[in-house]
Amino acid sequence: EAQVTQNPRYLITVTGKKLTVTCSQNMNHEYMSWYRQDPGLGLRQIYYSMNVEVTDKGDVPEGYKVSRKEKRNFPLILESPSPNQTSLYFCASSLSWTGTEKLFFGSGTQLSVL
Amino acid sequence: SQQGEEDPQALSIQEGENATMNCSYKTSINNLQWYRQNSGRGLVHLILIRSNEREKHSGRLRVTLDTSKKSSSLLITASRAADTASYFCATGIQGAQKLVFGQGTRLTINP
């Protein structure tokens, strides 16, 4: 089944404790992206990747890191999480980025930073 | 500020009625897409309309696009309880490697 898999689904952590949210897709997609969803603010892009070893900042990259060493994986790293990073996170992918591609989303990771 | 803004923010109707949601945006677009999100879950793509199209249908969904007014509407006909969800418009902006999402319309279908 074609899908984007995120783990974990729920995560509670404390300020400053490094964490990684994994994202994997099995559709051989070139384009991958991370969004965060907050009440009243909608979805905002954190980082995106056009292909392996090609990543770039989105609208809200501060406090986050990403890497794209393999085509299928695009982990999101929070090296020193803070309470303002409490949010619902989504990984998404598409075949490529031509400006007319639809996105496939993971099920989301609900992160709480205490 | 958000590129896409949906209206209304919340809509509650009876099963079997039609539901209409609107989206306005600010800059030139390549395409406009609609997504559905069931409570806290991932978004699911519903339909894409290109900037040179005016109307598109998919099953019970009808999308219109008016680029002169920078607006789009999503019509769901003969609504069902399973249509209860949040609906987001997302715009593909020329030169940007992302979709820009609105804040969504929360649709509730009452049995």
Whole-angstrom distance, CA of residue A56 vs CA of residue A59 = 10
Question: Does the distance separating the beta carbons of A50 and B99 come in below 8 Å?
Answer: no
Amino acid, single-letter form, for residue A71: K
Task: Check whether B36 has a pLDDT greater than 80.
Answer: yes
Question: pLDDT per residue over B41-64, tens digit each?
Answer: 899 999 999 999 999 999 999 999
Question: What pLDDT was estimated at residue B3?
Answer: 62
CB spacing of A90 vs B42 below 8 angstroms: yes
- A20 min Cα distance to partner chain B (Å): 19
Looking at residue B1, its pLDDT comes to 42
Is B74 within 8 Å of B20 (Cβ atoms)?
Answer: yes
CB contact under 8 A, A4 and B50: no
Position B96 pLDDT exceeds 90? no
| Nearest-CA distance A89 → chain B (Å) | 9
∠A39-B39-A85 over CA atoms, to 5°?
Answer: 40
Pairing of strands A109-113, A10-13: parallel
Q: What are phi and psi of B63, to 5 degrees?
A: -115, 135
- B68 — pLDDT class (breaks 50, 70, 90): very high
Mean of per-residue pLDDT scores for chain A = 95
Residue B101 to residue A42, Cβ atoms within 8 A? yes
Which tokens in the block code for residue A73? 């994986």
Taking a C-beta distance cutoff of 8 angstroms, is the pair B51, B94 a contact? no
